Amino acid sequence: MSRHWWKHRQWHLDNRSKTFLLVAEVIILLLFPVHQFRPLRAEVHVGFIEWTPLRSLSPSVIKVDLKCRWVAQLERGWVGWLKVWQMKENLTIGEEVLNIGGKGQGFFVTDMEWCGEQLLISIIEGYDTFWEWDKKMEEGTLVPKRVPWRKKWLLFEPQTRKMVDLGVNEDLLDAKLFAHPSGDRVLIVKPRAGGAFGVRTIKVVSLPTAPPVKPKLIQELGFPYQQVGRFLLPESWFPDGQGFWAIGTDNRGSVKLFAVGLNGLAKKLTPDDHWLLHFGGDVYGKLPLIIEAVPSVALQEGRGYAALMSSNKKKHVCVGYYSPENLEKEQVIVGWDEPYPEALKPLGQCTLIAIVPDGRRLILQEGQFAPYGEKKRVWVWDIEAGTVAPLEQIGWITQVYGWIGTEWMIVEMEGNPVQAEVEYDIGGKRIELKATYEYGLLYVPNR
């Protein structure tokens, strides 16, 4: 019937009326609520999006859920509070939906991890801060404080604001949470048992789909010191979800990248004559390029993993491109005995901050440091094309917490100092000029 009505209208309307109706229909379509079909990104590509509500007097850990709807902020100093914010479609910060832990709460938060659309939270109950848990004052001496406490975990659903208590779990003490991309299970990476050369245990635990179901142990993996070294830090899952890349060490303490499978196997991927610059290094002061702690990054479209490496034998710094099986190739960026890259010479001294998820570009910032609140230019260096493009001037970047898509880098920066009350470990308080930390998204256009 509608088709007949459309033909009838075409027959009777003249050209002017047709034009008028066509414009009206276009306007109606534009006004129609189609926001659920829009890609989740800022509609206007400004150079930097400030997350002003997240400003803090101490550094934080920032994590965004996979659907980019929520931002979790965990204070990583002595207090241990946790906040969760809504993220709007234009990537700005919206409503605060959770604020727990710290002074007066009776517990502090030690870790958190997004598991699908829920936030898994690890807490120590019985203390208000890390300081209270670690120390107390007896006759002028700091000694361990012994009062009853419990290690628990919680599951928070920001959409409904519902919090589920998953109960006591002593495995969480000093452990690291690492969620599976399916969202239905989590890895608990425990500290090494049996001393420095003991076994590091990873427990794989299922998460409840609905209360009163409790978490259930699925499997337990063990990795001796000879296999993964002093520590094992999970970084990113393989595309098939059957294993992950992790940072560890060899038996000499050199930082390496490992492939760890859920079948219990671990393989060192970084060659013996290379080490990862994951925790920083200045290339022995030989170059104007300063190497800070540069986080490794999962490449876009599941193409592998990229990490910054150095080699004494080859006397160079390079980007290593990894598959789950091995090191696929190296891209040299600077050689200690080779000419300095022409593209970097006009920049003077600059600091390498991050690898872009395309694996072919690097983020640099002007200088080696900056006073709190002072802005420094950021550049993107295309190491294949040999070009450098300017980005924004922002505060000194202290941490990079990953990417939203391939164009928005989550950063922590030093902000302007403020007057604040400072509490000392040995007791007492006073007002001091305190550093602040600010957060936001730096826009890095695709190539």
Note the pLDDT tens digit of each residue in 121-159: 999 998 888 777 766 655 556 566 666 789 999 999 999
Confidence of residue 43 (pLDDT cuts 50, 70, 90): very low
User: Which residues are CB-neighbours of 30 under 8 A, at least 6 positions away?
Assistant: none
Neighbours of 110 (CB within 10 A): 24
- What does the block give as tokens for 373? 């609140």
Determine the pLDDT at residue 185. 93
pLDDT of residue 1 exceeding 60, the answer is: no
Determine the pLDDT at residue 281. 61
User: Which residues are CB-neighbours of 401 under 8 A, at least 6 positions away?
Assistant: 61, 62, 63, 410, 411, 412
Gap between the Cα atoms of 40 and 91, Å rounded: 8
11 or 245: which carries more pLDDT confidence? 245
User: Which residues are CB-neighbours of 272 under 8 A, at least 6 positions away?
Assistant: 250
Domain 279-447 has CATH 2.40.128: yes
Confidence of residue 283 (pLDDT cuts 50, 70, 90): low
Q: Measure CA 284 to chain center.
A: 28
Q: Supply the mean pLDDT for the chain.
A: 83
Confidence of residue 41 (pLDDT cuts 50, 70, 90): very low
Average pLDDT of 234-248? 94
Give the amino acid at 252. Answer: R
pLDDT of residue 5 exceeding 60, the answer is: no
The CA–CA distances, whole Å, from 216 to 170, 211, 245, 362, 394 equal 14, 13, 24, 42, 45
**Residue indicated by tokens 């608990």:** 188
Q: What is the pLDDT of residues 113-122, one digit of tens each?
A: 999 999 999 9
Tell the burial category of 122 from Cβ atoms under 10 Å away from its Cβ (0-12, 13-18, 19+).
buried
Instruction: Identify which of 126-135, 250-259, 273-282 has the greatest average pLDDT.
Output: 250-259
pLDDT of residue 102 exceeding 70, the answer is: yes
CA torsion, points 100, 106, 110, 114, in degrees to nearest 10?
-30
Determine the pLDDT at residue 137. 55
pLDDT of residue 361 exceeding 90, the answer is: yes
**Residue indicated by tokens 């000392």:** 424
pLDDT of residue 330 exceeding 90, the answer is: yes
Pair 441, 45: CB distance under 8 Å: no
> What's the first-to-final CA gap in the chain, in angstroms?
50
Domain edges within the chain: 279-447
CA torsion, points 386, 391, 394, 395, in degrees to nearest 10?
-10
Q: What is the pLDDT of residues 368-412, one digit of tens each?
A: 888 888 999 999 999 999 999 999 999 999 999 999 999 999 999
Gap between the Cα atoms of 84 and 93, Å rounded: 10
Gap between the Cα atoms of 199 and 193, Å rounded: 5
pLDDT of residue 36 exceeding 60, the answer is: no
For β-strands 350-355 and 289-291, DSSP reports them as parallel
Q: Measure CA 442 to chain center.
A: 14
Determine the pLDDT at residue 337. 83
Average pLDDT of 39-50? 60
Torsion angles phi and psi, residue 55, rounded to 5? -55, 135
420 or 409: which carries more pLDDT confidence? 409
pLDDT of residue 255 exceeding 60, the answer is: yes
pLDDT of residue 46 exceeding 90, the answer is: no
**Percentage of residues in the chain having pLDDT higher than 90:** 56
192 or 415: which carries more pLDDT confidence? 415
- What does the block give as tokens for 41? 């990104």
84 or 211: which carries more pLDDT confidence? 84
